[in-house]
């Protein structure tokens, strides 16, 4: 699956997508037999500033009709989109999402759907008061929100969506982690050591977790 992120701050996002599970999923791993893995995902970044004709590289302007703040201009974003997926003619498997606090709520169900149905996911991050509404029309894009709160930019929402979607792409998680994902909830978990001391008080791992009785452990984990 190929993710394309349109953002004024690619460097913030790339540090995240290059690390850990997402970083590994973008690499080919050499190994013996089943252990050798191909690239599972690709992540590319496009900065609207690289697509503006303005000599000061401005990509925002005042809103028509007045109102507070500035609005991201449509053209640099549209050009960035064209660079990303514009040449993929007749590609039904391209989905374009605009990050917006007024959008449809993003869920794990949507992550599964994106991973299954699309080859290219374009994520457009807003800044300032948002993006010129013609971007949504021209790209037949969908607005998505990551929650009922307002952030200063669409970078964290875009990263959340990439992260949740990538882990639904087969092979991105290890077998063990994938199995974990099939459970409704992981519940309480503990790791070594079995006793820790904090502010003079001891905290022990509940006995059941040390018992080796998997049925009992599952039952305990199922508790809220």
Residues that bind ligand SAH (CB under 6 A): 99-102, 125-127, 129-131, 145-147, 149-151, 153-154, 157
Residue nearest to ligand SAH (CB): 126
Please report how close the Cβ of residue 2 comes to ligand SAH at its closest, in angstroms: 21
Q: Which is nearer to ligand SAH, 133 or 219 (CB)?
A: 133
Please report how close the Cβ of residue 97 comes to ligand SAH at its closest, in angstroms: 9
Q: Which is nearer to ligand SAH, 76 or 130 (CB)?
A: 130
Q: Which is nearer to ligand SAH, 99 or 110 (CB)?
A: 99
Q: Which is nearer to ligand SAH, 96 or 125 (CB)?
A: 125
Please report how close the Cβ of residue 87 comes to ligand SAH at its closest, in angstroms: 25
Please report how close the Cβ of residue 1 comes to ligand SAH at its closest, in angstroms: 20
Q: Which is nearer to ligand SAH, 162 or 173 (CB)?
A: 162
Please report how close the Cβ of residue 124 comes to ligand SAH at its closest, in angstroms: 7
Number of CB atoms found within 10 A of residue 94's CB: 19
């Amino acid at each position: 699956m190929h993710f394309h992120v349109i953002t004024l701050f690619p460097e913030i996002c790339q540090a995240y997508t290059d690390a850990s599970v997402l970083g590994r999923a973008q690499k080919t791993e050499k190994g013996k037999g089943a252990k050798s893995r191909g690239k599972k995902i690709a992540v590319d970044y496009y900065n609207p500033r690289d697509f503006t004709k303005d000599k000061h590289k401005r990509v925002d302007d005042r809103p028509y009709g007045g109102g507070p703040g500035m609005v991201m201009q449509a053209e640099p974003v549209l050009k960035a989109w064209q660079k990303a997926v514009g040449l993929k003619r007749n590609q039904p498997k391209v989905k374009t999402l605009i990050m917006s606090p007024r959008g449809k709520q993003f869920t794990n169900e949507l992550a599964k759907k994106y991973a299954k149905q699309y080859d290219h996911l374009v994520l457009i991050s807003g800044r300032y008061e948002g993006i010129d509404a013609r971007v949504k029309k021209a790209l037949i894009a969908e607005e998505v929100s990551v929650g009922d709160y307002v952030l200063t930019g669409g970078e964290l929402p875009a990263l959340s969506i990439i992260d949740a979607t990538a882990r639904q792409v087969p092979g991105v998680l290890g077998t063990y982690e994938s199995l974990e994902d099939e459970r409704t909830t992981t519940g309480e978990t503990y790791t070594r050591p079995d006793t820790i001391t904090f502010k003079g008080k001891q905290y022990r791992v509940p006995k059941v977790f040390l018992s080796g009785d998997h049925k009992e452990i599952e039952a305990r984990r199922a508790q809220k």
